[in-house]
């Protein structure tokens, strides 16, 4: 049994946690694994193929119940835990994070510990995403419009981007509100674009950049670029890094009197 499995099994048999969320090998890549008994933990793995952001399960009370829970964490999952705690969706200390440092298993129980680990392990954008982002920014406005309308044309409104996002936890989403109906429910370029603008605006300063939306998209719209671009704008305008659990409040629910306003006349 791996050290990770041993640790998870120990936490479960001691009764420290009632549930360990992790990954196991599936038929097509890795898949989430929910361990409620010590023997369930035998198949847990944690490697760079564990790409799903399982941090999203932490906001599902029907799954978590009221007890403590442990999660085996990639850096993206750790950022999710930090951000969700800052948004008061998780209680600091209720989530135990299990991470790997080489072969050793690290157990982090507080947000401060996780933040320290994250600060020491920054994660950069993939070269592919960087290249596409700078290519898009270099285009003229008309070309960018054509690029995105073409992408939005493909959207089938399956809302996989929403389902996969660990920060999309509203009980009632704007697309389900029909009085007034802000966004038409059918798949058409305009309503698809409006949906994405809404989704991304609601991520302002909160997106942890895990790329789950992007990977979940069945028609391969590079959704991640929208939030990455916005995070860049936010960093530049307000000096706030997106999705870092800013305790001063979210970017759009806080302000400074001297925020710049070079576009307002």
Partner 1 sequence: MSETNQEFEPRIVAFVCNWCTYAGADLAGTSRLKYATNVKIVRFPCTGRIDFMLLLKAFEEGADGIIVSGCHPNDCHYTSGNFHARRRWTVFRGLLDFMGIDVRRIHFTWVSAAEGAKWADIVNETVADIRALGPYDEYKSIASNFEKEAAK
Q: Contact positions toward partner 1, by CB under 8 A? A: 136-137, 141-149, 182-184, 186, 188-191, 193-194, 197-198, 200-201, 204, 225-226, 229-230, 233-234, 237-238, 251-257, 259-261, 263-265
Buried b (16+ CB within 10 A) or exposed e, 186-219: eeeeebbbbbbeebbebbbbbbbbbbbbbbbbee
Name, in order, each residue with C-beta under 8 angstroms of 178's C-beta and a sequence gap of 6 or more.
none
The SS3 assignment for 210 reads coil
CA atoms of 74 and 80, how far apart (whole Å):
10
Query: Residue 103 or 142: which CB sits closer to partner 1?
Result: 142
Nearest distance in Å: CB 33, partner 1: 36
CA atoms of 164 and 73, how far apart (whole Å):
16
- The answer to whether 33 and 22 have CB atoms below 8 angstroms apart is yes
Nearest distance in Å: CB 229, partner 1: 5
Query: Residue 12 or 183: which CB sits closer to partner 1?
Result: 183
Nearest distance in Å: CB 80, partner 1: 21
Query: Residue 51 or 174: which CB sits closer to partner 1?
Result: 174
Query: Residue 117 or 195: which CB sits closer to partner 1?
Result: 195
Output the CA–CA distances (angstroms, integers) from residue 253 to 195, 198, 226, 243, in the order listed.
21, 16, 20, 14
Nearest distance in Å: CB 1, partner 1: 48
Nearest distance in Å: CB 155, partner 1: 13
Q: In Å, how far from its chain's centre is CA 142?
A: 31
Nearest distance in Å: CB 163, partner 1: 22
DSSP 180: T
Query: Residue 68 or 199: which CB sits closer to partner 1?
Result: 199
Query: Residue 24 or 214: which CB sits closer to partner 1?
Result: 214
CA atoms of 215 and 212, how far apart (whole Å):
5
């Amino acid at each position: 049994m791996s050290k990770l499995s041993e640790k998870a099994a120990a936490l479960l048999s001691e009764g420290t946690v009632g549930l360990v969320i992790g990954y196991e090998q599936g038929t097509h890549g890795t898949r989430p694994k929910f361990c409620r008994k010590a023997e369930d933990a035998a198949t847990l793995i944690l490697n760079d193929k564990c790409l799903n952001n399982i941090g999203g399960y932490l906001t599902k009370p029907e799954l978590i119940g009221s007890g403590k829970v442990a999660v085996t964490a990639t850096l993206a999952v750790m950022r999710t835990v930090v951000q969700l705690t800052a948004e008061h969706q998780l209680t600091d200390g209720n989530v135990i994070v299990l991470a790997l440092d080489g072969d050793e298993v690290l157990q982090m129980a507080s947000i401060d510990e996780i933040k320290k680990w994250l600060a020491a392990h920054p994660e950069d954008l993939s070269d592919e995403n960087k290249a596409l982002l700078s290519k898009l920014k270099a285009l003229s406005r008309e070309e960018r419009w054509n690029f995105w309308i073409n992408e939005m044309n493909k959207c089938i409104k399956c809302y996989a981007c929403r389902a996969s996002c660990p920060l999309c936890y509203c009980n009632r989403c704007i697309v389900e509100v029909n009085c007034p109906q802000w966004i038409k429910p059918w798949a058409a370029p305009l309503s698809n674009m409006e949906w994405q603008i809404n989704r991304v605006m609601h991520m302002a300063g909160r997106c942890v950049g895990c790329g789950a939306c992007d990977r979940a998209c069945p028609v391969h719209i590079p959704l991640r670029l929208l939030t990455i671009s916005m995070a860049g704008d936010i960093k530049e305008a307000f000096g706030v890094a997106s999705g870092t659990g800013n305790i001063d409040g979210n970017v759009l629910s806080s302000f400074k009197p001297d925020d710049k306003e070079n576009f307002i006349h």
